Structure 1
Amino acid sequence: MTPTTIKRINWVGGIFTVFTVICAILWAFPIYWGIISSIKPEDEVIRPYIELWPETLTFEHYWFALTETQIGTWYINSIVTAVGVTVLTVSTSLFAGYAISQLRFPGRTALWWLILASFMVPTQVLIVNHFVLMADLKMLNSWAGIILPQLIHPVIIIVYKQFFDQVPKDFREAAAMDNASEWDILFKIYIPMNWGVTTALSIVIFIWAWNAFLWPFLAVTKTEMMTITVGITQVFDAFGVYYARQLSAAVLAGFPVALAYLLFQRRVTQAITLSAGIKG
């Protein structure tokens, strides 16, 4: 490789690096602006010009969100519903993926094609049906009413099915020769070999369920049953909207998932890669 070629490659790499940094700044600026605005007095927030740093630091808006709202109850609702969605989605998807991959039963192929077809249907299309069903079952304004309609994740079944297909048949045949049941084969062979996948998918589903807004917003009308993403819309004052208060509540709502992402970044990236591979 000639020095001229190396110099050209360095220029190209430098241009891509600068472009990437600019994109990262543009992406991160709204987050920075929201956090900084949440620690400004309200009169600084509504000024008609941009200030990248507050003149006066104040945490009164966070104190208001923590003491004058039901944010503790909203946190509990979000934890319960997010954990419920995660556990039920991952467990049912695991069983379905194993059954389609390893068992032979009537209608197996039709079920697999139905799952693939449902993957093409946007969840928002089913919102009206979900609402009518939950209303008929008297499950609105309840944890069950929030959790059940959010359990539809065919991509998780597809990921599990693909990984179970990759497990060598020798393991299954050896276990069958030892008279192991299907439960033993699943829990003692297949799940331990795919534990990393389960962990990654669980983290991503939990983050998705925590951040969900549309369905919890429609399914809940009582303030005490709201999740954190819906509850922060209730942080207002009788005399109008206080932007700093709403931003502080939004920061508190997003902090747990941001912390989870920072702690489990490698697992989250792995799960996103798996999902992208299936979609591709």
Structure 2
Amino acid sequence: MNIQKIDFAGRLFSLLTLALAIIWAFPLYWALVTTLKPEFEVVQPGLNLLPKTWTLEAYTHVLTTTKIGVWYVNSIVVSLVVTFLVVLMGALCGYALSQLRFRGRTLLWFTVLASFMVPIQALIVTHFVLMSQFGLINTWLGIVLPQLIVPVVVIVYKQFFDSVPKDFREAARVDGASELNIFLRVYLPMNWGVTTALAIITFIGAWNSFLWPFLVSTSEETMTITVGITQVKENFGVQYARNLAAAVLAALPVAIAYLIFQRRVTQAIMLSAGIKG
């Protein structure tokens, strides 16, 4: 009897999970289907789950009449530079806080922890004023610099470097290795899994970033893809299929990256959640 109840509860839970998954995925499905409809069909009343007339006109319009190629290049460059610098600085800072003893170390550690609790949106005005004074508005550097503040990467690296046995460091010191060699040849290779996970999640975050690039980029030549798709507009009303096609093209690289590196992304999310918890 108990087994039957457990089996029934399991099936009920599975059905509930399936229903919630369908509800979550339906807006994504609807957006994708809308991009494959002609505009007159999009605005027709009623709920049509499939297009009556299949067309790629919305994608053709976005690819041929906008600067989406430039926006893609900008996003790729900005995301790769942000990812490389964030991971590199986070690893170096985490190693220093974990393994080195220097004056001000405790203060630096508490500063990193305190900055983790400050939302980046609270610094937007300060960042904009600084970038304006430095003459970095509408430049890649102006987009990149404020996105390098990612204290969670430092915290994650410090925790993992703390878990490395001290014997490895002492053996390397006996062999005459410098601190940089110890970091590059001993500690960093032991954490390639963490590095990969953090790099992927940082890249996705930089690619999806909208608020700061939107504020600092006013020229289409320097816009990232998330900002550039806001320029897909018409003089005679809203063209829903074209707007959604631009959004789908903007999200496509991130979706592909997630499907390929799903396990690493999940690992990075769990690491970040563990820090926040």
> For 2:124 and 2:209, how far apart are their aligned partners in 1?
13
Runs of 4+ in structure 1 over 3 Å off: none
- Displacement after TM superposition at 1:173 (Å): 0.7
> For 1:190 and 1:8, how far apart are their aligned partners in 2?
51
Question: In structure 2, what residue type is equivalent to 1:261?
Answer: Y
Tell me whether 1:256 sits opposite 2:253 in the alignment: yes
The aligned residue for residue 162 of structure 2 is 165
Match among 133, 136, 150 for residue 136 of structure 1: 133
- Displacement after TM superposition at 1:48 (Å): 2.4
The aligned residue for residue 279 of structure 1 is 276
Tell me whether 1:97 sits opposite 2:111 in the alignment: no
> For 1:115 and 1:12, how far apart are their aligned partners in 2?
46
Match among 201, 206, 215 for residue 204 of structure 1: 201
Q: What per-residue deviation string (whole Å, max 9, x for no partner) do you get for residues 43-102 of structure 1?
A: 111122211100000001101111100000000000011011101111000100000000
Question: In structure 2, what residue type is equivalent to 1:102?
Answer: Q
Which structure 2 residues correspond to residues 166-181 of structure 1 after superposition, within 5 A?
166-181=163-178
Match among 110, 115, 125 for residue 113 of structure 1: 110
The aligned residue for residue 225 of structure 1 is 222
Q: What per-residue deviation string (whole Å, max 9, x for no partner) do you get for residues 148-194 of structure 1?
A: 01111111100000000000111011111111110111000001000
Tell me the secondary structure at the aligned position of residue 221 of structure 2: helix
Tell me whether 1:82 sits opposite 2:106 in the alignment: no
**Which stretch of structure 1 is more off in the superposition, 93-102 or 15-24?**
15-24
Tell me whether 1:32 sits opposite 2:29 in the alignment: yes
**TM-score under structure 1 length normalisation:** 0.98
Match among 62, 69, 72 for residue 72 of structure 1: 69
> How many percent of aligned residue pairs carry the same amino acid?
62
- Displacement after TM superposition at 1:27 (Å): 1.0
> For 1:85 and 1:48, how far apart are their aligned partners in 2?
45
Which segments of 5 or more consecutive residues in structure 2 lack a partner in the other structure?
none
**Which stretch of structure 1 is more off in the superposition, 232-241 or 101-110?**
232-241
- Displacement after TM superposition at 1:211 (Å): 0.6
Aligned length: 277
Tell me whether 1:7 sits opposite 2:1 in the alignment: no
Give me the CA root mean square deviation: 0.7
Question: In structure 1, what residue type is equivalent to 2:28?
Answer: I
The aligned residue for residue 20 of structure 1 is 17
